[in-house]
Amino acid sequence: MTRRVVVTGMGMISPLGHSVEETWKHIIAGKSGVAPITRFDASGYSVRIAAEVKDWDPVRFVGAKEARRTDTFQQFITVAANEAIAQSGIQVNDGNRTRTGVIIGSAVGGVSAYYEQAMMIFETKDPRRISPFGIPMFMVNGGSDNVAIQLGAQGPSYTPVSACATGADCIGVAFDLIRLGRMDQALAGAGEAPIFPIGIAAFDRTGACSRENDSPHRAVRPFAKNRPGLVFSEGAAVLALESLEHARARGATIYGEIVGYGTNSDAFHITAPQPDGLGAANAIQMALDDARMTPEEIDYINAHGTGTGLNDGMETKAVKHVFGKDAPFVPMSSTKSMTGHAMGATAAMEAIFALLAIRDNLAPPTINLDEADPECDLDYVPNVARQMAHVETVMSNSFGFGGHNVSLILRKFAG
């Protein structure tokens, strides 16, 4: 018999805020986090906009020592994890240390630190100038490991990587390990800091990026007829997960329950999704089967919704394939229209948005949706958040390069 898994803490740093509640406030207000790039001089680039974390000072958030020794993505993870730990009240001691896990991922890891170190060697021709902390800064698992060390958690600690679905897979893996009895509590999520010269230039070359530099707040338009592409973003999101028995035993506040997880691969193309959406549809159906639920029980869908030509139509087809005649009546929105696309971290952010939608009985908007693509004909909650009579159960979909498809189902905790 499997155990129930509940959420007892949430943490986030995003282009819209330094906490979960600050970010959510701007999400429900329909505010865009996209602005001109300040991380580097992008004046000669085709893409000169991104959704950066505003007023970021690593010394303030993680201290001078850690700021020197860690990549920005690891620092973001630390900030989000600390918020989740503080909200949850999770404690690690000799009695539960080996039953506490940390499953926190990243799609690209410390690429900005790698770039800075490589440029230093290139410019100075002196390999001795590389930081002695270079390898830990580059490691994709560095964020997860830092949190495990900070907590003293000696249970499972590793970093699944599934491109832009990474955060959702990390949550799903932690969910599986807890419900199967391999651990009792965990921190799960992802963090990214991909806004650096090669990251922007290389992704632009895939043809997926919006180049609407003169109107940053309108640069991401998921499901719109004239959608120009995605906008790079950064940040982190971490959830504290526990078995229901463990959470009850310590009197924890419960913010929701994870009830379904579906994950698979298109095995179709390295960057393009399967056009008919069947791979994504299968992941959605897997999550429903795992939760022992029917499509009629889903009150809101947080879409992957990148605003790219290939994704939005595919995702619409996938939802219609599974939900059938009910598809047009299920609100489905893209919060990436406001956060931008923080690669693997966005999937974890959106799991938190799902929980907040349940808490507030509210569907967040898809901003900048003035005219939908005829191929995208569902209810995308255009432009304005929608108060609903009740939101009991939410589906959060995440897809990634390489054909990764993940669907999570989160539900209001009912005791």
**Three-class SS string for the chain?**
CCCCEEEEEEEEEECCECCHHHHHHHHHCCCCCCEECCCCCCCCCCCCEEECCCCCCHHHHHCHHHHHHCCHHHHHHHHHHHHHHHHHCCCCCCCCHHHEEEEEECCCCCHHHHHHHHHHHHHHCCHHHCCCCHHHHHCCCHHHHHHHHHHCCCCCECCCCECECHHHHHHHHHHHHHHCCCCCEEEEEEEECCCCHHHHHHHHHCCCECCCCCCHHHCCCCCECCCCCECEECEEEEEEEEEHHHHHHCCCCCCEEEEEEEEEECCCCCCCCCCCCHHHHHHHHHHHHHHCCCHHHCCEEECCCCCCHHHHHHHHHHHHHHHHHHHHHCCEECCHHHHCECCHHHHHHHHHHHHHHHHHCEECCECCCCCECCCCCCCCCECCCEECCCCCEEEEEEEECCCEEEEEEEECCCC
Of 164, 170, 209, 376, the catalytic one is 164
Our answer to whether residue 341 is catalytic in this structure is yes
Q: Catalytic: which of 170, 209, 246, 341?
A: 341
| Known active-site residue 164 | yes
Handedness of CA 51, 55, 60, 65 (dihedral sign): positive
The whole-angstrom separation of Cα 61 and Cα 66 is 9
Report how far Cα 304 is from the mean position of its chain's Cα atoms. 10
Measured distance CA(312)–CA(102) in Å, rounded = 32
Look up residue 409 and give its two tokens.
């189902």
> From the candidates 170, 209, 246, 304, which is the catalytic residue?
304
Q: Can you state the angle between helices 20-28 and 344-360, rounded to 10 degrees?
A: 70
Q: Which residues are catalytic?
A: 164, 304, 341
